[in-house]
Copies of this chain bind each other. A is one copy, B any other.
Amino acid sequence: MSESTKGPHIVRSYDRDLEAIQALIMKMGGLVEAAILESANSLEARDEEQAERVRKGDKAIDALEEQVNEEAARLLALRQPSAGDLRTVLTVMKISANLERVGDYAKNMAKRTGVLLQMAPIEGSSGAIRRMAKAVEIMLKDALDAYIQRDVELAQDVRLRDHEVDQMYNALFREFLTFMMEDPRNITACMHLHFIAKNIERMGDHVTSIAEQVIYLVTGELPEDERPKADRTAIDPTTAQ
């Protein structure tokens, strides 16, 4: 290991570089949180302009992810970090990849909102979707707080809350099926709404991955217990009847 040959100057440079990357992650996190809330709100408020802003705003999130990757690669190449520091850098790259995916889902949601605004609204659905989006946004906020504070307990809590998002999704899935069966004219809108619900459920999975990365970063181990899984509609046909 080259650790012993590194003077304090090099170590400080590494820390400064890492802090700069973490600042990018926080900036990315803020944009992604806003995108989640705004895409859900644009659906509920039937606000096409807001949906359009979310769609366009995703480019800034993508650009930040690229910047994180470049800075991280530069840091790895120049500073040649020790095993522990290396883990931090790899974690940062994984977190930014997860954030980028969540941003993508928000963008997809905003795209579908554009389509849905051309159809008659399905009663009660957009409020339920907003609540689901809000739950995920708070999870994300807490996952990033857990990262900054290296707070394993908070990260564990985020993991557990993903189960509630899954339950919200399962309830919506049943509701949409009912609407569709009641009136075939609801089918197209419900398919799009269902996509949106599924997108939010997947956002929750990515936020959970971030929380798990925090646990890995602090403890050196990924959580062993399988998370109470997830989309029941995929394994239990009775939920889909």
Binding site for B on A (CB under 8 A): 1-2, 69, 73, 76-77, 80-83, 86-87, 90, 93, 97, 108, 111-112, 114-115, 118-119, 173, 177, 180-181, 184, 187-188, 191-192, 194-195, 198, 233-237, 240-241
Contact = CB atoms under 8 A, between A and B. Distances in A.
Instruction: State the main secondary structure of chain A at its contact with B.
Output: helix
A237 B184 CA distance: 17
A39 to B, nearest CB: 12
A61 to B, nearest CB: 16
Contact of A177 (B108, B187, B198, B233): B187
Contacts of A195: 198, 234
Given A177-B187, A184-B181, A187-B180, A237 B118 contact: yes
Given A86-B77, A90-B73, A114 B188 contact: no
